[in-house]
Amino acid sequence: MSAADGPVRFDPTDFGTIPSSRALRSWMRTTRRQHADRSFWEIFEDVYLVLFTLAMVGATGGNVVRHLNSNAATCTSWTCGQLTSWLPWIVIPLLLATTIRVLLAVGPVSASRATGFWLLATPVNRASLLRPAYRLVIASVTVIGVVAGAVIWALLGEPWFDVIEAAVLIGAVLVCAAAATVWAQQSTRRSKWALRVSDVLLAAAVVPAVFLAFRPGEDRFTNHIITSTFTGREPRYGLAFGEVGDAGGLTSGQVYLLLLCAAAVVVGAVLAFLASRMLDRLGRISVIAGGELLAGLAGAASSLDVSMLGDVIAGRHWRLKGRVRSRRGRGADGAAIVHREFRRILRWPRRIAVAFGLLVVPYAVHGAGFHVLVPIAAAIAGFIAVRPMLDGLRTACRSTGLVRALGWDLRELRVVMAVVPALFTIVWAACAYPAIGSATSCFAVAAAVISGTVRQASARPPSYAGPLVTSPMGAIPPGLFSQPARGFDLLVLCLAPVLFNLSSLWVLVIPTVVLMLMFAVRPKTD
C-alpha cells in the first residue's frame, strides 16, 4: 500500500479473531505445562511443606491466643471496658492507613514487564487479563484483615462471637479500602489524594491512643489497679458490656455490630465488583511499575536484607517523582553535610508524618495496660520511624568511591550523618515520654533507637566470597542469617536494664557505653 492510499487501518479479518482472555490464559497454561521441568510430586512436596508449616504455626499461634483470651477475659474492671471501647478507633484507622499505603506502593494491581509488553499491549481485554491478579489482592487483604481483627479482639478477652464479628468487620473494611486503591491507581492525582487520606487516618489514630493513655489504668500483667500516670485519679469499676438478658441471647451492642458487619460485607462486595469492572482503565505503566517493585522486593527478601527493602521502595518513589528543586548548600565541612542531610529528609515530608504517627504505638500499649511493654514498643516504633532517615548513611557505607570523594574517614562520616536522625530521635522520644513515664527509660529508648538504626544503616552487605555453609535450603553465605538481626541486637542490649528492672544508674550507663562503642568503631566495608 502506498502513502497515497491513505493511513493503514486495523482490520480484524486480516489477522483473525481476537482471542478472549480466558482462551489466551488457557493456551499459556498449556504451553507452560509442556515446558515444565518439575514433576507433579516435586511440586506436591513443596506445597506439602508450606501447608504443614502453616498448620503448625496456626495451631501454635491459635493455642497461644486462646490462652491469652482466657486470661484477659478475667479482667472485669472499668478500665478493660474502656480499652475495648476505644481500641476500634485506634486499630481500624491504623489498618486502613497501612493497607492504603502498601497497596498503592505495589499497584495494587501489578504485572511483570513481560506481561505488560506481550499481553497488555494487545487488543485483548485488559480487565480480564488483570482480574486474576486483582482477585489475589482482594483475597490476601481479606485474609489479613480477618486474622488481624480476630487476634486483636481475642487478646482483649472478648467472647468468641464478638471476635468473629470484629474479624469480619475489619476484613470487609479493608476490602473497601483495597477497592478504593484500585480507583486511585487510575491517575497520579488520585494516588496523591489517597496517600493524604492515609496520613489523616494515621493522625486520627493518635487522638484516641493519647486519650486512652491519659485514663486511669490497670496493669494487665499483675492485675494491680494503678492511678493514672497523668491525672492521678483512681479508676472506677463497672461493666464493660451490657449484660445478656437470657442464656444464649445477644446484647444490643452485639446485634448492632452484627448488622454493621452485614452492611460492611455487602458494601465491600459491591465495591470489589465495581472495581473489577474498571480494571481496563489502569495504565500499563503503573501496572508494570508495581510488578517491578514486587520483583525487587523478592530479591531483597531472598538476601534477608531489611534495608534493601526500603531502598527498593525509595527508589521507586524517586523514579516516579522524577526531579526535585535544587537548593544551595550552607556551611563547610561537617556542617555542610548536616545541612544537606536535613534538606534531604525534608524532601520526603510524608516520612516525617508517618514517623510522628507511629507515636500511637507506645500510647496505645500504655492505655491497654501493658505498662511493662511500653519501652520495647516505643523502641520498635521509633526504630521504624527513624530508620528511613538514614538512607544517606547507608548509601555512603555501601559506596567506597563516595566516601573517598567526600574526603572523610568512614567513622567520622557516620557520626556526622547521624546528627540529624539523632536530633529527630530525641524529639520523638520526648513526645513519647508521657507514655514511657520515666526519664531514664526515655533515654534508654532514644539510645536504643539511634544505635540500632545507625548500625543497620552502616552494616556491610553479605559477602559471597568466602566458603558457603551447607543447609537443607542449599548453600548459603555464613553471614546471611545475621543480616535481619543487625540493629535489633543493639536495641535489645540498650533496653535490657529497663526490661530487667535494674537501677537507674545501669539504665543510663549501659546505653551510653553502647553508643560510645558503636560510634568509636569504624564500620567494615569489605
pLDDT in tens, 203-239: 888 788 777 766 655 554 444 444 433 333 344 333 3
Q: What's the whole-number mean pLDDT along residues 5-22?
A: 64
Contact 337, 416 (CB under 8 A): yes
Q: According to the 3-state scheme, what is the secondary structure of 391-446?
A: HHHHHHHHCHHHHHHHCCCHHHHHHHHCHHHHHHHHHHHHHCHHHHCCHHHHHHHH
**Tens digit of pLDDT for each residue in 46-65?**
788 888 888 888 888 878 77
Which of 102, 97, 108 shows the shortest CA–CA distance to 289? 108
Q: What is the mean pLDDT of the chain?
A: 77
Position 77 scores a pLDDT of 63
**What's phi and psi for 487, nearest 5 deg?**
100, -45
Question: 235: which 3 cell numbers?
Answer: 479508676
Position 233 scores a pLDDT of 39
Q: For the whole prediction, is pTM greater than 0.75?
A: no
Position 526 scores a pLDDT of 58
| Per-residue buried b or exposed e for 220-231, using 16+ beta carbons within 10 Å of the residue's own CB | beeeeeeeebee
d(CA 466, CA 473): 18
More confident residue, 422 or 368: 422
Contact 4, 99 (CB under 8 A): no
Helix (H, G, I), strand (E, B) or coil at 476: strand
**What's phi and psi for 433, nearest 5 deg?**
-60, -40
Q: What's the whole-number mean pLDDT along residues 165-183?
A: 89
**Tens digit of pLDDT for each residue in 461-476?**
766 666 777 766 666 7
Q: What's the whole-number mean pLDDT along residues 135-151?
A: 89
Q: Looking at the predicted structure, is the pLDDT value of residue 240 above 50?
A: no
| Per-residue buried b or exposed e for 146-166, using 16+ beta carbons within 10 Å of the residue's own CB | bebbbbbbbbbbbbeebbbbb
| Per-residue buried b or exposed e for 364-399, using 16+ beta carbons within 10 Å of the residue's own CB | bbbbbbbbebbbbbbbbbbbebbbbbbbbbbebbbe
The letter for the amino acid at 106 is V
Helix (H, G, I), strand (E, B) or coil at 218: strand
Contact 158, 76 (CB under 8 A): no
Q: What is the distance between the terminal CA atoms of the chain, rounded to a whole angstrom?
A: 64
Q: According to the 3-state scheme, what is the secondary structure of 150-188?
A: HHHHHHCCCCHHHHHHHHHHHHHHHHHHHHHHHHHCCCH
Give the pLDDT band (50/70/90) at residue 443: very high
- Give the lowest-confidence range in 108-117, 306-315, 340-349, 373-382: 306-315
Give the pLDDT band (50/70/90) at residue 425: very high
Position 215 scores a pLDDT of 62
The letter for the amino acid at 431 is C
More confident residue, 519 or 41: 519
Task: Kindly give, in sequence order, each residue whose CB lies less than 8 Å from that of residue 357, ignoring residues fewer than 6 positions away.
Answer: 97, 199, 202, 203, 205, 206
Instruction: Report percent pLDDT > 90 for the chain.
Output: 6
